[in-house]
Amino acid sequence: MENIATTSPEDSESVGAQEMRGAPRFTLLIRAARLVAAQGEFVCVIRDISETGVSVRLFHALPPDDTFELHMPGGRVYSVKRIWVRENEAGLEFANPVDVAQIINEVSEYPKRGLRLGLHFPITITSLTDSCEGVVENLSQQGARFECDALFAIDQTLRLSGAGAFKDVRAKVRWRRDRQYGVVFDDTFTLGDFARFAARLQAPSLLAS
């Protein structure tokens, strides 16, 4: 990972943006986080942070909401509001005071925790001997949880087919619980492909250039 510090756009004239620029700025290791809006859950990459706000990069346009929830890798959730937007970058202000050291420590504590989104979409699950319809309940770059009526074995290889980037994905069963299965993909999604798939599934207008 690379340490990168950024600043808010110089042409922003809002009071909030000025306050964000004036606060002490702490550089973070670039980390993926979950930005929750009215349209759904989206991938963002934290660029830098201060006591008043955070700047993030997305792989598509920022949802049009004024307020969001920022879900950190370790599980903490922060209410934030839009301050500035420049192409696929945004400055977000914390609704309440935050402990910057706590956030940085959390990033260090969970250096490899994967980002998981609560995406729901139908798929077809196919094995060598069976095929059934199912529904994905959450998704990460490395795997998914889905529900279906068929019985599959632990370590069994499956082919998952759905919409867009989720066509003909090969996966292996890691766990099962009643009608729910957890699978790991043979080929993982890049962060950009994962982010764009989530946007296309929930709010395709965000991908319009």
Tell me which of 18 and 192 has the higher pLDDT. Answer: 192
What is the band of 164 on the pLDDT scale with cuts at 50, 70, 90? confident
Q: How many CA atoms lie within 13 A of 175 on its CB side?
A: 5
Q: Which residues, including other chains, have CB under 8 Å from residue 51's CB and lie 6 or more apart?
A: 23, 24, 94, 97, 98, 100
- pLDDT digit string (tens) for 18-63? 544 555 555 555 789 999 999 999 999 998 888 889 999 999 999 9
- Mean pLDDT for 161-175 is 89
- Residues pairing with 94 in the sheet: 80
Check: CB of residue 144 under 8 Å from CB of residue 134. Answer: no
- Secondary structure, 3-state, the chain: CCECCCCCCCCCCCHHHHHHHHCCEEEEEEEEEEEEECCEEEEEEEEEEECCEEEEECCCCCCCCCEEEEECCCCCEEEEEEEEEECCEEEEEECCCCCHHHHHHHHHHCCCCCCEECCCEEEEEECCCCEEEEEEEEEECCEEEEEECCCCCCCCEEEEECCHHHCCEEEEEEEEECCEEEEEECCCCCHHHHHHHHHHHHCHHHHCC
User: How high is the pLDDT of residue 25?
Assistant: 57
User: How high is the pLDDT of residue 27?
Assistant: 57
Task: Specify the pTM.
Answer: 0.82
Check: CB of residue 59 under 8 Å from CB of residue 133. Answer: no
* Domains of the chain, start order: 15-113 (2.40.10.220), 117-195 (2.40.10.220)
- Mean pLDDT for 86-98 is 93
